A and B are shown apart, each in its own frame.
Chain A
Amino acid sequence: MAELETFRRETRDWLLKNAPPDIVGLPANDLEGNWGGRRATYAVPGMKTWLLRMAERGWTAPSWPKEYGGGGLAPGEAKVLSQEMTRLRLPPPLIGFGLTMIGPTLLQYGNEEQKREHLGRICRGEIRWCQGYSEPGAGSDLASLQTKAVRDGDDFIVTGTKIWTSYADKADWIFALVRTDPAAKKQDGITFLLIDMLTPGISVRPILLISGKSPFCETHFESVRVPVRNVVHKINAGWTVAKSLLGHERSMIADAFGGAGAGQRTARLSALASLARERLGDARGQIADPVLRDRIALEDMDTRAFGFTVQRAKDGAKAGHRPGPESSIFKVYATELNMRRRELMVQTLGPSGIGWEGPGFTESDLETTREWLRSRGNSIEGGTSEVQLNIIAKRVLGLPD
């Protein structure tokens, strides 16, 4: 404990000394922030400095091994670092699918050469990754995917179409599931491949979402040559890797939507409650609309309860317990919390919450509306809620097929 306190002091001092002032207070969640990559753009100039300094210390990936560019922190230390960053209102220096999805997967399944090639570049924010799982014909039934990879000497020739590929237009590399054995049972003929997006034959077409933004794309592969050494784990054993990565993806989504630190005490009024007081006024110190007030309280309380659940899993992991069944509920519940919150925000705005663009609406109200629309995808991306419930019923409750 005493060592942790020393670590806390040193960490705080270092952060205070090294965090550029213009990054303080920037959004600290996993969806907004600095994605890095070959074509990185920075919200403020200090963000680039912040990334460089933190990466040098290994603190873009605090708990990864030092030899691969991480910070080598023990779970307790990583928690302290994140607490201190929260306290000082410092955003993460880097976010993205490299850190949350492919990195942890490579640590588990990658060979030495792959770890050396990719992990450091992820930690330094040099390469941005995207995820090529879904296809037009393979969504929830992911294992029925058809993008094929045919062996040609030391290469595979990849042909097919991926869809809903988030940020494919901005990414430098893609991790993709491809079919390498069409004759095998569907889960047994899949291989997990790492592909440089600059390889000839890849084309990307952005797709517009109902929110008016287009963060996801159709990604087309036309005879794309990929070296066999880019296979993660073994040929035809990609399904195991794919599932493990989905686990990382789901906990990332859970963290992003209220898991991280939500069990901690929040002294200030919740964002929802203060918005409601501001817009609806109050009656005797209470939000004027009692029904909305009740729903906001429910949302705040469920958020807190969920935060405690995430904390329970983390404390258990820290104590060396194997991940318990409680982690299977994170994806469903976290996304539903976020979706409820977004809906409540729009309902709180009332007539100001239904603007699309232009005069009569403030920038922040328009953003709230777009965010509400975007949030409808939360219970679809990363495996739909129905699929998560299937998993809980089967794996946790042992209900029959």
Chain B
Amino acid sequence: MELILTEDQELLAKTAADFVSEHSPVSRVRKLRDAKDPVGFSKELWKQMAELGWLGIPFPEVVGGAGLGFAELAVVLEALGRTLAPEPFLSTVLLGGQVLLLGGTEVQQKEWLPPVVNGDCILTAAYQEPQTRYDLRRVATRADRKADGWRLSGEKIQVLDGHVADALVVVARTSGGEHDAKGLTLFLVRKGAPGLEITRQSRVDSRNAALVKLSGVAVGPSEVIGAVDEGGDLFENVVDRATVGLCAEMLGSMEEAAASTFKYLKTRVQFGVPIGSFQALKHRAARMYIELELSRSTVMAAARAVDEDHPELPKLASLVKARCSDAGILIANEAIQMHGGVGMTDEYDVGFYLKRARVAEITFGDASHHRDRWARLSGY
């Protein structure tokens, strides 16, 4: 793999940066939050992103996609991360979309992927449960076999964009006990299905999440994605890819939090000099920069590993997530500290970055979880 941007990728980065600065300032996130917006993001912008071809980046041309890869997707997600754009990339393109891409039948892909690419359909994955923490295989939600298919029962938490999703990929147990790695199956559940109850949740970053209660929700055989009992591996692969995408977004957020802090260091005057002339702050700023650059390298490497179907992808996904989780928190914490009192105010934007950094850290597992996984995958 080559760790540089091609000319086309540079161009895409520039288009994305321009689009974001014109249409998606952080003030937009603030407005959505303060208005308790019922959708939680802008459907109009989502449609525009589709028109720019972004939603189709990682999908093949047969479903209307661009046939590109995560190297390109990462470039766009990084730009979106810079201003904390809340559009449903993670849920729709990276979770639901990737499940269908990797595990869906041709019929399923034809039904769902073109509308995803066109921006007409929101997908998500319901996998986390109250007791799951970061163990993707720890699933209590049951799928009971009936003559005409299955009945799903259980409770999922923090389902991204759950309340606006047109369909959810539900991870449920078709055999084995709660702690078994095997025996999981992925089901597609359409919104409005009888027995499906969705309640919006509110998290610190004010992005969309929902509780999903399944009370005997009926799903037919055609709604199974991938093989019965074999969904665990498929879903872990999808989460590895989604993790890489999330990290690209985290990288963008870190960049912006760091950049605004560096700017503040040059302009805020105390004791008659810019505070950036104090070495105690300079060195910490340099440390932020180092962490940022190392994060960037790992995001680039991991995105290319997805595109190359690299056998080390699981390790690299853990590498990039551990790194971006720690670096994201470090940078956001330092951003607040170096802004002083104003950094603590709701009126100022840095707080939004800290909140998002925390949520992103916890999503798909924090740094210590991923170090443990890395060590396990490395044989120690």
Contact = CB atoms under 8 A, between A and B. Distances in A.
B247 to A, nearest CB: 12
Contacts of A396: 286, 289
A354 B319 CA distance: 32
A-B pairs with lowest CB-CB distance, top 3: A393-B282, A308-B297, A392-B286
A270 interface: yes
B266 A398 contact: yes
A5 to B, nearest CB: 16
Count class of interface residues, chain A:
35 or more
Nearest to B276: A399
Given A315-B2, A389-B286, A308 B378 contact: no
A171 to B, nearest CB: 33
B290 A332 contact: yes
A351 interface: no
B14 interface: no
Contacts of B296: 309, 312, 326
16 contacts: A273-B378, A273-B380, A277-B380, A285-B379, A287-B375, A293-B380, A297-B375, A300-B374, A301-B374, A302-B294, A305-B298, A333-B290, A393-B283, A397-B262, A397-B286, A399-B282
B376 A286 contact: yes
A306 B290 CA distance: 10
A321 B7 CA distance: 12
Given A263-B301, A400-B277, A309 B374 contact: no
A287, A296, A298, A388: which has the most chain B beta carbons within 10 Å? A298
Given A305-B297, A326-B293, A333-B290, A311 B3 contact: yes
Interface in A306-327: 306, 308-309, 311-312, 315-316, 319, 321, 325-326
A389 B296 CA distance: 19
Interface of A: 263, 265, 269-270, 273-274, 276-277, 282, 285-287, 293-294, 296-298, 300-302, 304-306, 308-309, 311-312, 315-316, 319, 321, 325-326, 329, 332-333, 386, 388-390, 392-394, 396-401
B298 A329 contact: no
Contacts of A325: 293
Interface in B1-32: 2-4
A273, A319, A326, A386: which has the most chain B beta carbons within 10 Å? A326
Interface string B40-67: 0000000000000000000000000000
A397 B318 CA distance: 29
Interface string B362-380: 0000001001101110111
A254 B105 CA distance: 49
A36 B282 CA distance: 42
Nearest to B302: A308
A169 B312 CA distance: 47
Nearest to A295: B371
Contacts of A306: 294
B270 interface: no
A142 B371 CA distance: 41
B301 A400 contact: no
B266 A400 contact: yes
Contacts of B3: 263, 308, 311-312, 315-316
Contacts of B379: 269, 273, 285
B3, B283, B290, B312: which has the most chain A beta carbons within 10 Å? B290
Interface residues of B, number: 41
Interface of B: 2-4, 262, 265-266, 273-274, 276-277, 279, 281-283, 285-287, 289-290, 293-298, 300-301, 312, 318-319, 322-323, 368, 371-372, 374-376, 378-380
Contacts of A401: 277
B371 A294 contact: yes
A273 B323 CA distance: 19
A149 to B, nearest CB: 34
A309 B285 CA distance: 19
Contact of B380 (A269, A315, A388, A398): A269
B299 to A, nearest CB: 9
Contacts of A305: 294-295, 297-298, 319, 323
A145 B291 CA distance: 34
Contact of A400 (B276, B286, B323): B276
Contacts of B266: 398-400
A315 B4 contact: yes
Given A312-B4, A319-B4, A389-B283, A296 B293 contact: no
B283 A386 contact: yes
A302 B291 CA distance: 10
Contact of A301 (B281, B289, B300, B322): B322
Given A389-B286, A392-B286, A393-B276, 13 more contacts: A273-B378, A287-B380, A294-B372, A305-B323, A311-B297, A329-B293, A389-B287, A393-B282, A397-B289, A399-B265, A399-B274, A399-B282, A401-B277
Given A287-B380, A293-B375, A297-B371, A393 B323 contact: no
Contacts of B277: 399-401
B375 A286 contact: yes
A330 to B, nearest CB: 10
Nearest to B295: A305
Contact of A308 (B279, B287, B300, B376): B300
A326 B323 CA distance: 17
Nearest to A326: B293
A269, A302, A390, A399: which has the most chain B beta carbons within 10 Å? A399
B378 A392 contact: no
Contacts of A293: 375, 380
Nearest to A385: B283
Contacts of A277: 380
A277, A315, A333, A400: which has the most chain B beta carbons within 10 Å? A400
B380 A286 contact: yes
B289 A329 contact: yes
Contacts of A393: 276, 282-283, 285-286
A265 B279 CA distance: 38
A140 to B, nearest CB: 13
A300 B374 CA distance: 9
A269, A302, A304, A388: which has the most chain B beta carbons within 10 Å? A304
A326 B296 CA distance: 10
A301 B294 contact: no
Given A332-B290, A386-B283, A393-B283, A312 B300 contact: yes
B311 to A, nearest CB: 9
A78 B175 CA distance: 55
